[in-house]
A and B are shown apart, each in its own frame.
Chain A
Amino acid sequence: MIRERHLNILLLAGFLAVPLYALAVDEPFTITLATRAAILALAAVGLNIALGWGGLVSFGHAAFFGIGGYSMGILAFHAQNYMPLDLGFAVLEGTKSMPVIWLVATLTSALAALAIGALSLRTSGVYFIMITLAFAQMFYYFAISWSRYGGEDGISIYVRNEFPGLNTLAPIQFFGLCFAALLLALWLNARLVASPFGLALNAARQVPVRVQTVGLDPTRLKLVAFVISGAITGLAGALFADLNRFVSPSMFSWHLSGELIVLIILGGVGRLMGPVIGAILFVALDHILGGWTTHWHIALGAILLGVVLFARGGVIGLLCGPKGQA
């Protein structure tokens, strides 16, 4: 058995080494793949806070991913067309500045998570799974019929957005940004888990009645976790949109919600690096198996079944043993 801490360090080092190596041998596509993995990992780190620690099986996190994406799409769209955005009460210029876009993406998805979470947490179990799915579907269909922003076709952004002091068009620099965001989220995640809030949330997942009898409201704890979770996934959405320079309703699709869950379970639920391992594996499998056959999803399906039926702790569970045996 490997110590989880060692595995985590090894993993992050490897994650950083691959694109650097790709830079050295001039393989920009590999850098793009690594960037994709970092962004998906970030989105799943967000979901893992709700799912792994809060026990909230959200089947609608694509809602936040899409909101983040559309925040980027709409702001950049108005900037590239020199067409201010009239909100009725205020007129905003668009922007191509990543920090501003990230702030907007994080805030809007946090707000959406607050609304969706407050309503969804009235239910539990399967009903929670389904109502979160329904909310994401609402956004999906709304985006499809939102003709102002391209409807089904989405929005294309011609040039990647800017970050002060960096050339975001250079793949390695954009990777650096995404990787930094991922590290930041992981750090936040680790602090959160060790914090008073994290302790209470962890208990709220396991024994909500106990949490109540010590004077805390488990639903409120879960709601806050859901909001933090949605905000991080929203940030990932904005980065993902910038990676592709394209936003479309497919960012809201339920497949994406499902895939985020898949990433977490592949890696290990409620494990800090679970989503990271899951995302790396997913992108690598997509690339390698997808290169061999267009039908690689059969293999992916088989692997997933194997994980659920035989390796329930995911990769980290296999390598480091069950959770809590530090």
Chain B
Amino acid sequence: MSEIVLETCGITKSFGNLRASDGISIDLRAGEIHAVIGPNGAGKSTLIHQISGGLRPDAGQVWLNGRDVTALATPARARLGLGRTFQISALAMEDTVLENVLLGALGASGRVWRFWSQVMADRALRERAEAALARVGLSEQMHTRTSALSHGQRRQLEVAVALTLRPRAFVMDEPMAGLGAEGSKTLTGFLDGLRAEAPILLVEHDMDAVFALADRISVLVYGRIIATGSVDDIRANPEVREAYLGDGA
């Protein structure tokens, strides 16, 4: 069994009476895509927030590369190798595409406290940023303002920014959201190859993509993981069929 890169151990989070995470333990191993699915309101966003550092769990820990990162804030987790993408693109809309990926390269390089040098003239940063753009196929739009990109291109850019970090693990929040069939297919192909570089924890609604990509699937319902297993296990699991897919699916 391959090495565990990212792991949550019994994380629990309540908002008032609502238990959004109820003792969630999942892990992400080197080389795999582990999909988390669940109906709306199952607590997927809360889970992602706790993994990326935006929310502190009430109980339980988050481990990254064998290190307990529960007490660390988002930037520290990012520096330790967590690459996250957002469901709703979080991009600097006034800036160019290149500037957005440069930001990622900058964060990864730690060279942000430079007040006098020209960021555009930094060879290493440029190469890293442009390489990420080339990989998602946005090289031609490099100097376009982000606000002028199509929705699909913004999704690609979202992934490109995470790539510049060269993370140890990806956490992707519905990367397919709002993409057409064609776009989904392209991105699916891309993510398929990406898993060799770093494993992906994939929260996704697009079931075609999930079934095509996932090595393992965990099903989250009302803050609890009700099943984890291979695609076939999950398809066959009666509890999942009842709770999530609906009987007869």
> Which of A's residues lie within 8 Å of B, judged by CB?
191-192, 194-200, 202-203, 206-207, 209-217, 221, 224, 323-324
Contacts and interface: CB of A to CB of B under 8 A. Distances in A.
Contacts of B76: 215
Interface stretch (B18-26, B118-126, B175-183): B118-126
A195 B115 contact: yes
B94 interface: yes
B114 A210 contact: no
B164 to A, nearest CB: 8
A163 to B, nearest CB: 26
14 contacts: A192-B115, A195-B116, A196-B112, A197-B113, A198-B119, A199-B99, A212-B54, A212-B78, A213-B52, A214-B107, A215-B75, A215-B108, A216-B107, A324-B95
Contacts of B112: 196-197, 200, 216, 221
B91 A210 contact: yes
Interface of B: 52-54, 73-76, 78-79, 83-84, 86, 90-95, 99-100, 102-104, 106-108, 110-120, 122, 125, 145, 161-162, 164-165
A195 B107 CA distance: 14
Q: Decide if the interface of chain A is mainly helix, strand, loop or mixed.
A: helix
A202 B161 contact: no
A213 B74 contact: yes
A212 B86 CA distance: 12
Given A200-B103, A211-B103, A212-B75, A191 B115 contact: yes
A199 B103 contact: yes
A206 B106 contact: no
Given A195-B119, A203-B95, 16 more contacts: A195-B114, A196-B113, A196-B114, A198-B115, A199-B95, A199-B102, A207-B92, A209-B86, A210-B161, A212-B54, A213-B83, A214-B103, A214-B164, A215-B108, A216-B106, A324-B145
A196 B106 contact: yes
B114 A197 contact: yes
A209 B114 contact: no
A5 B100 CA distance: 24
A224 B114 CA distance: 12
